[in-house]
């Protein structure tokens, strides 16, 4: 049996951005929700990586938190990007990153992404909350509890501060995982296209 790696969870630095983008791109390569943002074959992996880099710079890096799980050698095994309460949108930051979004999505893709983003945003609860924008684990570290370490680390902090959390689960497997961390199904998100209908999930503040 493969032994779980020795993992340290810490805040990401600017030097981690490339590794974080690559890990998330690999983790979301077959994700049904991501496929509605960046569809098609070809160089999709590269475009998803570019998309995540732009999203991180426009959102979680500036207006939230990015956590990384690293091994003893400092290699990034997993990453989680969180948007802080009140951080939905950040139009100015997105405008500044527009060339990056255009390079990864193209004009048609940007229109599609804006539509899908609007659909997702429409399901966000009104109470203040942290939003899990993305979480992913490196191919070689999957199934070893790295994602759970990332989740539990951030959720402990939120519990101490008495803050709520929200996310979308794109598969039944991920929904089951999130339920084990105290998230509960709110609604089925429809309107993303392609028959994709993730679950919106809420974890209330504990204090």
155/176 Cα distance (integer angstroms): 17
Q: Right CATH number for 8-163 from 3.40.50.970, 3.40.630.30, 3.40.50.300, 1.20.1250.20?
A: 3.40.630.30
Q: 122: Cβ–Cβ under 8 A, 6 or more apart, which residues? A: none
45/47 Cα distance (integer angstroms): 5
Q: So what's the pLDDT on residue 20?
A: 94
**Above 60 in pLDDT, residue 95?**
no
pLDDT band at 70 (very low <50, low <70, confident <90, very high): very high
**Above 90 in pLDDT, residue 23?**
yes
Measured CA to CA in angstroms, residue 72 lies from 8, 118, 153, 204 at distances of: 8, 40, 18, 34
């Amino acid at each position: 049996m493969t032994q779980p790696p020795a993992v340290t969870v810490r805040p990401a630095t600017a030097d981690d951005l490339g590794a974080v983008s690559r890990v998330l791109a690999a983790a979301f390569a077959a994700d049904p929700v991501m496929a509605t943002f960046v569809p098609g074959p070809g160089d999709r992996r590269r475009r998803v990586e570019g998309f995540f880099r732009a999203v991180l710079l426009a959102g979680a890096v500036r207006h939230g938190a990015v956590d990384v799980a690293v091994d003893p050698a400092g290699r990034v095994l997993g990453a989680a990007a969180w948007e802080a309460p009140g951080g939905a949108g950040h139009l100015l930051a997105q405008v500044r990153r527009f060339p990056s979004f255009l390079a990864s999505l193209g004009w048609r893709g940007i229109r599609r992404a804006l539509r899908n983003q609007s659909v997702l945003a429409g399901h966000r609860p009104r109470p203040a909350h942290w939003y899990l924008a993305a979480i992913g684990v490196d191919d070689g570290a999957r199934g070893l509890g790295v994602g759970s370490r990332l989740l539990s680390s951030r959720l402990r902090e939120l519990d101490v501060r008495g803050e709520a959390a929200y996310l979308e689960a794109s598969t039944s497997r991920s929904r089951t995982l999130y339920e084990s961390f105290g998230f509960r199904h709110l609604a089925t998100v429809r309107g993303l296209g392609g028959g994709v209908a993730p679950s919106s999930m809420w974890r209330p503040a504990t204090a």
